[in-house]
Amino acid sequence: MKFKIAVGAARGIEYLHGGCDMKILHLDIKPHNILLDENFVPKISDFGLAKLYPTDKDTVTLTTARGTVGLVAPEIIDTRIGRVSHKADVYSFGMLLMEIAGVNKGMTRNTNNSSQYFPYWVYDRLNRGKGIENARAKINNVDDENGIGKSIQEKMAIVGLWCIRTNPDERPPMSKVLEMLEARVGDLKVPDRPGSMNVDQSWDENSTAFASLRSIEISIA
**Nearest Cα residue to 186 out of 150, 217, 141, 220:** 150
Alpha-carbon gap, residue 103 to 76, rounded angstroms: 24
Q: Do the Cβ atoms of 32 and 206 come closer than 8 Å?
A: no
On the CB side of 88, CA atoms within 13 Å amount to 31
Alpha-carbon gap, residue 121 to 43, rounded angstroms: 31
| Residues that are catalytic | 28
Which residues lie closer than 8 Å to 23 by C-beta, 6 or more apart? 16, 17, 52, 53, 54, 55, 57, 86
Stated length of the chain: 221
